[in-house]
A and B are shown apart, each in its own frame.
Chain A
Amino acid sequence: MAELLEFEAPIDILLKEIEALSMLPSTDDRNREISRLEARIDAIRGDLYRSLTAWQRVQVARHPARPTTLDYVERLFTDFVELHGDRRFADDNAIVAGMADYKGTGVLVVGHQKGSDTKQKIFRNFGYARPEGYRKALRLMQLAEKFRRPVICFVDTPAAYPGIESEERGVAEAIALNLREMAVLDVPIIIVVHGEGGSGGALGIAVGDRVLMHEFAMYSVIPPEGCAAILWRDAKKKVEAAEALKITAPDLLGLGIIDEIVAEPVGGAHTDPAQAAALLDVALDRALRQVQEMDSDARLEARYGKFRAIGLIGIEGADE
């Protein structure tokens, strides 16, 4: 059982009751009681996850047991071979990339990797990528373009790494160049925002033909804590900030920022990673087929038009 979040406290109480009952000698009565409690847990979880607040979704998106990019890679692709380095400075472990097969087609996979245990998390710098990561991603995406392979990007990062070396080596330039070049990269690009879409650090590998987003993922211009600290001058207002920023998948679908919501198992992807992967598989396969059917000019025109239109919803006073 994955670690429970604070809003899942009612489930925790029932789990403890089940645990207590299981320690007593098994009788028909007790077993019936246990099944009754288990059914109750499923019902409560279903209710909770049907009406999560924005801040609760942030917590689910950041859940320590949430499937990582490599968890999805392992389940969805075959013959994955990771490729390393930006040929400039270093290999960034917070972004992984490599060759893979998807239903018989060669694809390039790129994604932020957060790591699952403490050692891995440190190795992956908690998914905070440095300039090298974005440059590696672009190098390999251009390789995919050269050899006509579609690109699939997995987005899950708190932010680009805000450290001295990031600035010195031009993290802003690295992200900017990716935005420009991904806009015109002449192969299909599918984006999957499956965890945290942390501002520019996320967008740096998130320009494409279709943007899919997991049901409980988040995608934001700034972390709610940071927004609260700046606009409310109080980091504790993160709950209000999360709500105001409109960072949930349904909100972003309504604003025209994403194209499709990928359903998750009840209780979030971390409660059943295999089912989460199976649900993504269906959406990914469909999106990739749709985009692959388009000829190159139409696809690039549609990609431009898609980003070109974002924000018009928020403008009045159209002139000329």
Chain B
Amino acid sequence: MAWFKKARKPLPSPQKVSRVPEGLWEKCPGCEAILYTKDLVANHQVCDKCGHHFRLGAVERLSLLFDGGTWHELAPALRSNDPLRFTDTKPYAERLRKTIASTGRNDAVIVGSGRIGGRDAVVASMDYSFIGGSMGVVVGEKITRGIEHAIAHRAGVVIVSCSGGARMMEGALSLMQMAKISAALARLDRERLPYISLLTDPTTGGVTASYAMLGDLNIAEPGALIGFAGPRVIEQTIRQKLPEGFQRAEFLLERGMLDLVVDRREQQAVIARALRFLHT
């Protein structure tokens, strides 16, 4: 027989009410400073203490690069129809549906046409929040259309890469987008129209091994991870730790793979300057 008849109710835990509303402050991974979110947004997601570049969404990126922050979006409605009927631990179709709902975007790139420094330009900007910015058939088609639009209108092209590489869930169709976009860039190249590749954190895999490295100018953001194989794959191959700073923008600059590393707050001016030189 139990000593006490009445079972004790567990004490109600005090409601966890944070006194700080969600997302009001952000901690900088670079210098650990606590940053006021509004300041961070005003500063284009760059820490004003140490210059650490946070990831920037595609819309914010286009607003930053185009004159007056205005552009006309190309092919916004294109969506993947899950051509392989791919399923891993969950169906890709479901993953797509949820990502489209949560991001309000149809895929991992936004392509816009507008002006930079007064010159006609097409900018394709990848968004990491959409399945790691992965490149599948929609990314391939939208960027290709953007390049073809630029050729038709004698405009320059800027592609802002931010991607883990090809989208596995679309198999070899994704792989082939590397060839498709590069073929369009070959035509742009022969037309003597400028192409500026802006590499941001991260740019790896098939994106690096195609359009990201093909710029007339390759410009990177400070500290961006840029490489072909991911650091973990390399460590498994060579069975040792990689040196500090390996595959970072500054490392690539030193190895001769980049023209420039440019702080985000100066990119619009530098790109406008470059287009003035290249777009004859």
Quick one: which of B176-200 are within 8 Å of A by CB? 176-180, 182-187, 189-190
CB neighbours (8 Å) of B233 from chain A are: 162, 226
- The total of chain A residues at the interface (CB under 8 A) is 61
Do the beta carbons of A308 and B175 come within 8 Å of each other?
no
CB neighbours (8 Å) of B210 from chain A are: 175-176, 179, 200
Do the beta carbons of A164 and B234 come within 8 Å of each other?
yes
Instruction: Answer whether residue B140 sits at the interface, using C-beta atoms and an 8 A cutoff.
Output: yes
Do the beta carbons of B174 and A313 come within 8 Å of each other?
no
Quick one: which of A224-283 are within 8 Å of B by CB? 226-227, 230-233, 240-241, 244-247, 252, 255, 257
CB neighbours (8 Å) of A312 from chain B are: 137, 141
CB neighbours (8 Å) of A207 from chain B are: 179, 182-183
Instruction: Answer whether residue B170 sits at the interface, using C-beta atoms and an 8 A cutoff.
Output: yes
- The total of chain B residues at the interface (CB under 8 A) is 66
CB neighbours (8 Å) of A181 from chain B are: 186
Instruction: Answer whether residue B87 sits at the interface, using C-beta atoms and an 8 A cutoff.
Output: yes
Instruction: Answer whether residue A310 sits at the interface, using C-beta atoms and an 8 A cutoff.
Output: yes
Instruction: Answer whether residue A316 sits at the interface, using C-beta atoms and an 8 A cutoff.
Output: yes
CA distance A164 to B231 in the complex (A): 9
CA distance A257 to B185 in the complex (A): 20
CB neighbours (8 Å) of B144 from chain A are: 308
Instruction: Answer whether residue B64 sits at the interface, using C-beta atoms and an 8 A cutoff.
Output: no
CB neighbours (8 Å) of B9 from chain A are: none
CB neighbours (8 Å) of A222 from chain B are: 166, 168
CB neighbours (8 Å) of A315 from chain B are: 78-81, 137-138, 141
Q: Which residue of B lies closest to A206 (CB)?
A: B179
Instruction: Answer whether residue A108 sits at the interface, using C-beta atoms and an 8 A cutoff.
Output: no
Instruction: Answer whether residue A177 sits at the interface, using C-beta atoms and an 8 A cutoff.
Output: yes
Do the beta carbons of A257 and B234 come within 8 Å of each other?
no
A308 with B83, Cβ < 8 A, contacts A179-B210, A199-B206, A252-B172 known:
no
Do the beta carbons of A200 and B106 come within 8 Å of each other?
no
CA distance A8 to B205 in the complex (A): 36
Do the beta carbons of B238 and A311 come within 8 Å of each other?
no
Instruction: Answer whether residue B35 sits at the interface, using C-beta atoms and an 8 A cutoff.
Output: no
**Whole-angstrom distance between the Cβ of B91 and the nearest chain A Cβ:** 11
CA distance A161 to B256 in the complex (A): 20
A184 with B228, Cβ < 8 A, contacts A257-B173, A314-B83, A314-B173 known:
no
Do the beta carbons of A255 and B172 come within 8 Å of each other?
yes
A311 with B209, Cβ < 8 A, contacts A162-B237, A177-B214 known:
no
CB neighbours (8 Å) of B214 from chain A are: 176-177, 180
Do the beta carbons of B183 and A220 come within 8 Å of each other?
no
CB neighbours (8 Å) of B88 from chain A are: 231-232, 240-241, 244
CB neighbours (8 Å) of B189 from chain A are: 180
Do the beta carbons of A172 and B209 come within 8 Å of each other?
yes
Find B238's partner among A164, A314, A318 (CB 8 Å cutoff). A164
CA distance A204 to B179 in the complex (A): 9
Quick one: which of B193-250 are within 8 Å of A by CB? 205-206, 208-214, 227-229, 233-234, 237-238, 242, 246-247
CA distance A308 to B233 in the complex (A): 31
A199-B206, A314-B82 given; 14 more Cβ-contact pairs under 8 Å:
A160-B228, A164-B242, A176-B210, A180-B183, A184-B187, A203-B178, A304-B187, A310-B140, A310-B176, A313-B83, A314-B138, A315-B78, A317-B77, A318-B77
- A: residues with CB less than 8 A from B are 160-164, 166-173, 175-177, 179-181, 183-184, 199-200, 203-204, 206-207, 219-222, 226-227, 230-233, 240-241, 244-247, 252, 255, 257, 303-304, 307-308, 310-320
> Would you mind naming 25 contact pairs between A and B with Cβ atoms under 8 Å apart?
A163-B234, A163-B238, A167-B227, A172-B212, A173-B213, A176-B211, A177-B214, A200-B205, A207-B183, A219-B172, A244-B84, A244-B87, A244-B88, A257-B173, A310-B173, A310-B177, A313-B173, A314-B83, A314-B84, A314-B138, A314-B170, A315-B138, A317-B77, A319-B76, A320-B74
